[in-house]
Amino acid sequence: MSATHRRILLVSRPRGAASLDNFRLEEVPVPVVGPGQLLVRHHWLSLDPYMRGRMNDAKSYAPPQPLGEVMIGGTAGEVVVSRHPGFVAGDRVVGMGGWQEYALVDEAGAALLRRVDTSIVPLAAYLGPVGMPGVTAWYGLSMICAPKPGETVVVSAAAGAVGSIVGQLARARGCRAVGIAGGRAKCDYVQGELGFDACIDYKAAPDAAALDAALAAAAPAGIDACFENVGGRCLDAVIGRMNAFGRIALCGLIAGYDGTPVPITNPGPILRARLKVQGFIIFEHQDIWPWAASELAAGVASGRLRYRETVAEGLESAPAAFLGLLRGDNLGKQLVRLA
């Protein structure tokens, strides 16, 4: 074990787009493990769009990320020292260890640390299809979209960690799965490798009419449910093609994360088509976690549920990789390899 380790703090809040200078990398001593504590060496850091929201000093479902502290983040790693009765060195664990190479976990933190079985599912998958993104997909699809076999489900950011699972689960439930993604390569992946019935490249649809025509072709029977990660003009187009009593699970609005809110241009169909639009935050639904995770783990273990990872190497690459995630540079789950 090295005597020092590295961590990344949030040091300023973005005005508009987030930038590299909002973060600072520093090297500090590896913490000493006291009674009841344990030390985790992080192998993987998860980068996720919700982090952008925490960078703002705004009212939200969670308090803002404090300035001068280690950035919040999901991590997967290995217990290297334990003075806690519930863990031993060598345990593989997943938690919210933050943007750093090691994390000291106390009694309270240990209650939130989850020991995972890496014999059937690789450790990193617990940050992706079997972790928060997968459970998010499972919850929004199952509990809000609640599609019946034969219905059409649209998901935006379809090549991302969440969207890629939404469409595959929708297919497994007998639905027509239509993705929306940015660029030909992502759409080829979504349709060719993940098996969606169709995928729309919104970058190839320059205006509302082109996007509407693409949706009409991809969803000829209209749209019964939408799992929304993006907002903006893609959501506008979807709302215009929703069938009566359609459901929209609002999971993310990444189009508006950089400052200026992105409107819903025409809410009329929410009324006329009697839609339900519902926001959710997966951290509030711990009750369904084991249930969802076991279905997801079985899918990953059997190979039925496919996923990809975009891996940045080393903690120092995290800020740039995070900005890339917000721009949509990644395919599948964006990870940072720390060990």
Q: With respect to a second copy, which residue has the nearer C-beta, 277 or 315?
A: 277
CB of 175 to a second copy, least distance (A): 22
| Residue 119 DSSP class | T
Interhelix angle 132-139/289-302, nearest 10 degrees: 110
CB of 150 to a second copy, least distance (A): 22
d(CA 333, CA 79): 24
d(CA 321, CA 328): 10
Interhelix angle 233-240/208-218, nearest 10 degrees: 50
Q: Which residues contact 206 (CB under 8 A, 6 or more apart)?
A: none
Q: With respect to a second copy, which residue has the nearer C-beta, 283 or 289?
A: 283
Q: With respect to a second copy, which residue has the nearer C-beta, 146 or 250?
A: 250
CB of 65 to a second copy, least distance (A): 15
Q: With respect to a second copy, which residue has the nearer C-beta, 257 or 307?
A: 257
Q: With respect to a second copy, which residue has the nearer C-beta, 61 or 291?
A: 61
DSSP state letters, 45-77? EE--THHHHHHS-S-SSSPPPPTTEEPP--EEE
Beta carbons of 316 and 6 less than 8 angstroms apart: yes
CB of 238 to a second copy, least distance (A): 13
For residue 198, give both structure tokens: 């169709």
Q: Which residues contact 250 (CB under 8 A, 6 or more apart)?
A: 228, 277, 278, 279, 280
Beta carbons of 12 and 22 less than 8 angstroms apart: yes
Q: With respect to a second copy, which residue has the nearer C-beta, 231 or 319?
A: 231
CB of 269 to a second copy, least distance (A): 8
CB of 176 to a second copy, least distance (A): 21
d(CA 95, CA 283): 13
CB of 75 to a second copy, least distance (A): 24
Beta carbons of 168 and 306 less than 8 angstroms apart: yes
Interface positions with a second copy (CB under 8 A)? 53, 59-61, 231, 244, 250-253, 256, 261-268, 270-281, 284
CB of 58 to a second copy, least distance (A): 8
For residue 260, give both structure tokens: 């200026």
Interhelix angle 132-139/163-172, nearest 10 degrees: 50
